[in-house]
Chain A
Amino acid sequence: MRNRFVQTVSELARDNSNLFLLTGDLGFGVLTQFQQNFPDRFINAGISEQNMTSVAAGMALEGKLIFTYSIANFATARCYEQIRNDVAYHRANVKIVAVGGGFSYGALGMSHHATEDIAFMRALPEMTIYTPADPLETEAVTRAAASQDGPCYIRLGKGGEKQLYKDGALVSYYEANLLRSGKDTAILVAGAIADQAIVAAEILAMAGIDCAVYSFPSVKPLDKATILELADKMDYIFTLEEHNIIGGFGGAVSEVIAEQRTRAVVVRMGLNDEYTSMVGSQSYLREYYGLDGESISKRILNKLKF
């Protein structure tokens, strides 16, 4: 996802001399391509995310299109007020790109796990939030963010995420993308953990349950039409995210359902309001917190049985 982002932003920079990339001293080996091709439009702001974010706002107010790049918590929580007052309130054309959504950084520890970022970014007026699930969605949302005026948050995984769509598939940056069709129930997912939703659906199929999987590359604005359509047809819809179940994608879906008379009950799957204090790789942590394909399928099965 990181590489596809940098490749896309480099392509965009070729056609737009106003595009700048700012980093908080992160992206070793990843941002090199951009830096070499556009040395005047690459700015390393040092390890100072508060300053970087306000500098980005100042440049954007002068007509520049700015991408800031850092690890998720440093790009958001560390400089939240700078995002709120300088970027969002002034509707500055700043795209905050965060790597390491969820447990991507595995054994590095909780400081590097982004598990509340969607919640606090979602609370900001003017902020668009993208949570791509794979490289193709990453390219789609990066292009969308560059073409929209105003602040965006792009939450990436790390590197090496599987491509979930066929090469050249047309994926939407806003509408839910269908990863697997199904009529009994549905998993709605935000982010790279979509791969586990597909595994879960495959396991459920063996148990005779036809489970659809939809990826939501945009959490804000949210494709309400698809949510309501599914909620009218099904008894349960499940949300999945590598994030606290409070305030994130599952929260956003629940808000949509709560405001309408629908058939479905929403079950949110994610971190149950806790920090990731366990040490381990991303896949180990997913398993530990019940967010791997098998655990997800068991949870869905239990719910549908009763």
Chain B
Amino acid sequence: MNSKQLAWRIRRHGIEMTHLSRGSHIGAVLSIADIVAVLYNDVMSIFPHDPKNDLRDRFILSKGHAGAAIYAALAEKGFFDVKELSTHYSNGSKLSGHVAHKGVPGVELSTGSLGHGISVGAGMAIAAKRDHKEHKVYVIIGDGECDEGSVWEAALFANHYRLSNFFVIIDHNKLQSLDLCENTIELIDLGTKWRAFGWDVIEVDGHDHEQLRNALSQNKGEKPKCIIAHTVKGKGISFMENQVLWHYRDPQGDNYDNAIMELEASRDEE
């Protein structure tokens, strides 16, 4: 399986999981699908049958509402049975709407409240530094999540302690819960901000696997790395793209059928 194929499967599972469960946040799942696929397929050291192996790279999804994408990636990579994905959101399931670590191999941190994951990741990164370990720590945060003050506390901290093993990927799809980011709380220029906080900043097309691979594999300098991934919320399903409606809505009826049809068509093109 290559990263494109994994991304396609994450999208396919995402549609199915939110359809079955009548769960939300499909827009965010589709937005990060390519980033997650490149990380799990090409960039991170992972050990599906020994998920706590100390040599693994650490991954945290700070925007926990896109958890379905992580569950799908982990299942496809063999951390647990793909069949379990259909229990998402349901009574007695381990797969809660926001990503959870309890009983789910491969998940380092339960999240769901925004602005936590980046700080916990910084803690993991400084622990690795002090122990002279080689693994990296990757955290995906949202652009709307940058409204949280604690994100900037972590940004200051990671620079001050020169956490060069720390990668923060911003899923910059320009939409948040109710509206465009710029109509909610202006972020102005994220790149300038993170650079001013002392980070190495690379801006990429968050759906271009080659660009993502290069940015996520860089390994030089003393600074923490911020990858601003320009993404499209709802990417891959035409009627969901850039629509704030699809932050919370779940695909049912014609919407579900059309989404599957579009996805199946794009699979043939591969």
Contacts and interface: CB of A to CB of B under 8 A. Distances in A.
B120 interface: yes
Interface stretch (B65-73, B108-116, B212-220): B108-116
A61 B157 contact: no
Interface string A53-75: 11111111111100000000000
Given A51-B153, A55-B157, A82 B119 contact: yes
Given A48-B156, A90-B110, A59 B126 contact: yes
A46 B124 CA distance: 18
Contacts of A41: 130
Interface of B: 101, 108-113, 115-116, 119-128, 130-131, 149-150, 153-154, 156-157, 160-161
B110 A58 contact: no
B244 to A, nearest CB: 26
Nearest to B131: A62
Contacts of B149: 50
A62 B131 CA distance: 10
Contact of B150 (A20, A50, A63, A90): A50
A58 B125 CA distance: 8
A178 interface: no
Query: Which of A53, A54, A58, A86 has its CB near the most chain B CB atoms (within 10 A)?
Result: A58
A54 B128 contact: no
B124 A82 contact: no
Contact of B109 (A55, A56, A61): A61
A167 interface: no
Contacts of A55: 119-120, 122-123, 126, 154, 157
Given A48-B156, A64-B127, A58 B113 contact: no
A60 B124 CA distance: 8
A46 B156 contact: yes
A53 B154 CA distance: 11
Interface residues of A, number: 27
A48 B116 contact: no
B130 A54 contact: no
Interface in A219-252: none
8 contacts: A46-B153, A51-B119, A54-B123, A55-B120, A55-B122, A62-B127, A62-B131, A85-B112
Given A46-B156, A89-B110, A90-B101, A57 B127 contact: no
Contacts of B157: 45-46, 48, 51, 55
B113 A54 contact: no
A62 B113 contact: no
A-B CB proximity, top 10 nearest: A58-B123, A54-B119, A51-B153, A48-B153, A62-B127, A55-B123, A58-B120, A50-B150, A58-B124, A59-B123
A48 B122 CA distance: 13
A15 interface: no
Contacts of A62: 123-124, 127-128, 131
A41 B131 CA distance: 11
A43 B120 contact: no
A259 interface: no
A11 interface: no
A274 interface: no
Contacts of B126: 43, 55, 58-59
Contacts of A57: 120, 123
Contacts of A64: 127
A74 B125 CA distance: 24
Contacts of B124: 58-59, 61-62
B263 to A, nearest CB: 34
Nearest to A79: B150
Query: Which of B110, B111, B153, B156 has its CB near the most chain A CB atoms (within 10 A)?
Result: B153
A54 B120 contact: yes
Contacts of B120: 54-55, 57-58, 61, 86
B127 A58 contact: yes
